[in-house]
Amino acid sequence: MSSSEIFATLEHYAHAYCAKDIDSLMSVFDTSDDISAIGTGADEICEGPTQVKELFLRNFKEAQANRFEWHWFHCSITGDSAVVAVTLTIHLEVHGNRLKVPLRWTVALRKKGNCWVWIHRHASTPASNQDDGQAYPDDRS
């Protein structure tokens, strides 16, 4: 078992996301109803393939992703389960504006046959009101 096989699922996701290919993107997830995703939006908490698919279709409507820039990658594999922690920057166009959005992901995977499939993906952005070296955000209101 190799972390490179697992990283390949992240690459597959990135290519499908940039292409707005929902079927290819959903193919990284387990086909069972036991999947979930948490996005960066306040309401982006979903479970089951229908809700997860709707989350990504909304993302596709709002922006065009052009590139995923991977930074840090850590993978822990135990038997048929794996957890990935990764930092990345997604390069987007939103309403004609180019954006670079720093993200942090945690992806939980399971081995299904010869493939690794996602059962959960959590995305977050670094706190803008918390400086390097601080454990908690400042009240900057």
For 10-63, what is each residue's pLDDT tens digit? 999 999 999 999 999 999 999 999 999 999 999 999 999 999 999 999 999 999
129 found inside a domain: no
* Domain count across the chain: 1
141: pLDDT confidence band, cut at 50, 70 and 90? low
User: How many Cβ atoms are within 10 Å of 36's Cβ, its own excluded?
Assistant: 17
Full residue range of the structural domain in which residue 29 is found: 3-124
CA 32 from chain center: how many Å?
Answer: 18
Percentage of residues in the chain having pLDDT higher than 70: 96
- Who contacts 104 (Cβ-Cβ below 8 Å, separation ≥6)? 85, 86, 87, 123, 124, 125, 126
Give the residue with greater pLDDT, 4 vs 127.
4
24 found inside a domain: yes
